[in-house]
Amino acid sequence: MFGERGGVVFPLVVESNGEVLDRLGVVVVDRGAVPRIVSGADVMRPGVVEVVGDFSAGSVVVVRDEVHKKPVAVGRALYDADVIRGMERGRVVENLHYVDDRFWKLALRIKV
């Protein structure tokens, strides 16, 4: 199941999309960032603990928590992976969809 926001099509953070999510670039965030991200905040560089894979600015990426590596959000990278690795501050991923948002709740209702 996929969603669309601002002209960007992205996979939903649901179990049935596991294989699709595994093919995306990954931004791993610390525990302190997770509550903000699952409230709709964009990903900020200080909360990023790891960038996995090579992706370009504009690519759809999955945001995972550092403890369990579970997907908590899907977003649009604002910079290339290598640039994010070298940054110390600033917004790095635009949050398009996150656990418990309207897309996630709809997917649960239709049991995807």
Domain residues for the domain of 67 are: 2-109
Report pLDDT for 110: 87
**Model confidence over 15-37: pLDDT tens digits?**
889 999 999 999 999 999 999 99
Report pLDDT for 81: 99
Domain tally, the chain: 1
Cα–chain-centroid distance for residue 54? Answer: 15
**Model confidence over 35-92: pLDDT tens digits?**
999 999 999 999 999 999 999 999 999 999 999 999 999 999 999 999 999 999 999 9
**Contact in structure between 108 and 23 (CB atoms under 8 Å):** no
What CATH number does residue 22 fall under? Answer: 2.30.130.10
**Rounded Cα–Cα distance for residues 46 and 105 (Å):** 29
**Rounded Cα–Cα distance for residues 36 and 82 (Å):** 24
Report pLDDT for 71: 98
Distances in whole angstroms, Cα of residue 90 to Cα of each of 43, 45, 46: 9, 6, 8
Report pLDDT for 15: 87
Report pLDDT for 112: 53
Of 111, 104, 87, 83, which Cα lies nearest the Cα of 37?
104
